[in-house]
Structure 1
Amino acid sequence: MPPPLAPTLRDQLLDPSGGLIYHLRAARHRRRWAGFHACVADWLDGWQPTRRHLLIVGPNAGYALPAGFLARFETVTALEPDPLARWLLSRRPDAVALHFDRLDALATPDGLARLAARFPDTAVLFSNVLGQCSAPCADWATLLARHLADHAWASYHDVISTTTPPARTAACAPTTAEPLDATLARFWAGGELTVVDHGTFHLDGNRPHAYALWPIAPRRWHLVEWCAHTAGAAQA
C-alpha cells in the first residue's frame, strides 16, 4: 500500500489569525508594531545558521522580517497559505531566490517529519506561527524535539496573550531558564493576570529563551518568545 499523500496547504484569505484581517491590522498598526519588529530584527541578525537554504513556515507577507534578511540565503522556500501574503512576500526586493511549497507541515501529527524528509538540508524559521495554531498531537516542543532535532531551526511565537496592560515593555533575555510566572513578572506587576496560554513556553526545552512584547492591538498584548536550536543539540 502506498504511503498516504502529504497534506497540502489550502488557500486561506479569511483566516482569523491571518488573511485580509491581518493585512489590514498590519497596515493600521505598523508604527505600534515597530518596536517589536526591531526585536525580531535583532534576533534574526544573531541567528546565523550555516545552511544556505532557508525554509520559512508561516511568514505571511514578511511584515516582521527585516529588509535584506531573505538575501542572506541562496534559496528561500516559504510555506504560506494566504495567497495575498504570498504575492506581497514575493514583491520584496530581497525575495529574488524565493519560491513557495504547498506542504502543510502543521496540520497532522507527522507534518514535521514530512518537513524534515522533504527539506533535509535547510535551516527552518517558524515565523510567529506555532503560537497561532494548536499542535495536532502532544505539543510543539515535543514534536520539534522528535522530528527536527537534527535541523537548525529557530522560532518566534506567541506564549500568552492578555488584555492587561504591561508595567514594563523592555525586551529581555534571561540567562537561565525560569518558570512562566517569573517571566510574566518581568512585564506585568503583581496581582491577577488573565491570559490565553498558547502552549509554546520553552519551545526548545529547559534552556534560556528571549522575550518581547507585541502590542498587537490597542488593548491586547502578546508575549513572544524567541529560541534558536542548533542542529543535533539535545533539548534539556
Structure 2
Amino acid sequence: MTPDRHRLHDHLLDPSGGLVYHLRALRHRHGRWAPFHRVLAGWLAGWQPGRRELVIVGPSAGYGLPTGFLARFGRVTALEPDPLARWLLARRPDAGRLGFDRLDCLAGTDGLARLAAAHPQAAILFSNVLGQLPAPGGDWRPLLARHLAGHAWASYHDVISTTTAPKPDCAGLGVSDDGSLEAVLARFWPGGTLPLTDHDTFRLGGERPRRYAVWQIARRRWHLVEWADNTGAAPHG
C-alpha cells in the first residue's frame, strides 16, 4: 500500500488540469487544439520505447492521445489526480488494458525514484505535466537524469507561455531544433521583445534531440511545447 505522504490525492481543481481544463477541451479540442494534437500524434507514433508496459503521468482524460495509442501496450497504468479525468479516460475505446495507481511520483525529490522502483520495466510518458508543476528542488532535469536514466521515458511539456500570437504560418508546425531558447522562439514568433512565462523545462532531456510545436490553448494564450525522450536500458526478460 502506498503511504499517505506518497499518495496521489483527488483534485478537481488543479494547476495542470481539473474542471477548467475539461471545459476548455470540450470547447476547443476539435478546433483550435486540433493542429497541435496532430503534431503530438506524430510524436507519439514515432516513439517506440520497446516496452509492453506504459505508465502515463498526468494524462487528464487523454484528450491529446490519438485513438488506439493505449492499445499499443500490454498494460497501461495512469497516475491522475482528477477523478473526472480518470472516469473519462477509462471509457476510451482503447482503454481495455488501463488501470490506475495512486502513487504521487511528482512530490519530493525521491518521487521519480519511487516511480522507477514501482514500475521497473515500464516506459513512462509525462503527459504535459512537468511544465505545469514546479520541480522539487527547482529543476526536473537532474531528477530525471538521476532516477530515470535506465527507463524509456518521454515527455511533452510547456517551455514558455505567452499572450503574443506566433507567426501566422505556425499552426500545426512541428520542428526539431538544438539551438538556444531564443533561436527556437525565433522559429515561431516574429522578432522583438516577447513577454512570456518561463516554465523552466527547456532541454528537459539534456542534449538529446528535441522537437517543438506551438499550442494555442485559449483565444489569447499560446504555449511552446517541447518533446523530449530517453531510450533507457534494454528491458529484462
TM-score (norm 1): 0.94
Q: Is the 8 A contact 1:13 1:82 kept in 2?
A: yes
Q: Supply the AA of the counterpart residue of 1:133.
A: L
Q: Is the 8 A contact 1:162 1:196 kept in 2?
A: yes
Identity among equivalent pairs (%): 67
Post-superposition offset of 1:123: 0.3
Runs of 4+ in 1 over 6 A off after TM superposition: none
Aligned to 2:208: 207
Q: Is the 8 A contact 2:129 2:157 kept in 1?
A: yes
Aligned to 1:150: 150
Alignment of 1:1-236 (within 5 A): 7-30=6-29, 31-167=31-167, 168-169=169-170, 170-174=173-177, 177-232=178-233
Q: Is the 8 A contact 1:166 1:189 kept in 2?
A: yes
In 2, Cα distance between the equivalents of 1:80 and 1:98? 12
Post-superposition offset of 1:5: 6.2
Which runs of 5 or more structure 2 residues have no equivalent in the other structure?
none
Post-superposition offset of 1:147: 0.3
Q: Supply the AA of the counterpart residue of 2:215.
A: W
Q: Is the 8 A contact 1:6 1:114 kept in 2?
A: no
Between Structure 1 and Structure 2, how many residues are aligned?
A: 228
Post-superposition offset of 1:173: 1.2
In 1, Cα distance between the equivalents of 2:33 and 2:94? 21
TM-score (norm 2): 0.93
Post-superposition offset of 1:232: 4.0
Indicate the RMSD between aligned Cα atoms, in angstroms: 1.3
In 2, Cα distance between the equivalents of 1:17 and 1:136? 16
Q: Describe the superposition over 1:121-146 as per-residue Cα deviations: whole angstroms up to 9, x where unpaired.
A: 00000000000100011411111001
Q: Supply the AA of the counterpart residue of 1:221.
A: W
Q: Describe the superposition over 1:200-230 as per-residue Cα deviations: whole angstroms up to 9, x where unpaired.
A: 1001102320001110001000000001211
Q: Is the 8 A contact 2:15 2:133 kept in 1?
A: no
